């Protein structure tokens, strides 16, 4: 299951990051690392982007990037 599949209000934990190179590094720089709890706050009307809370701050992430974050 990926972060893209999580529903509004869900609190999940990052299990693994897929992707490679600069994209993976950018996701990690945003604070999405293994074992980090993430809460899905909102989803835009057309589904992109997704607003999440991670490490105490709100972050908007594209669906394509959310697909690279595996959750448990």
Q: What pLDDT, on the 0 to 100 scale, is given for residue 47?
A: 78
- Contact (Cβ atoms closer than 8 angstroms) between residue 14 and residue 71: yes
- Tens-digit pLDDT profile for residues 17-59: 998 889 899 999 999 999 999 999 999 988 789 999 999 999 9
Q: Domain count of the chain? A: 1
CATH number at residue 23: 2.30.30.90
2-30 average pLDDT score: 91
**Both structure tokens of 33:** 């690392």
Q: Rounded to the nearest 5°, which phi and psi values hold at 25? A: -65, -40
**Both structure tokens of 57:** 């701050």
Residue 52, domain extent: 3-71
């Amino acid at each position: 299951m990926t972060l893209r599949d999580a529903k509004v209000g869900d609190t999940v934990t990052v299990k693994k990051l897929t992707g490679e190179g600069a994209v993976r590094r950018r996701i990690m720089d945003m604070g999405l690392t293994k074992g980090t709890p993430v809460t899905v706050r909102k989803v835009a009307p057309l589904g992109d982007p997704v607003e999440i809370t991670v490490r105490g701050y709100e972050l908007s992430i594209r669906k394509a990037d959310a697909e690279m974050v595996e959750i448990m």
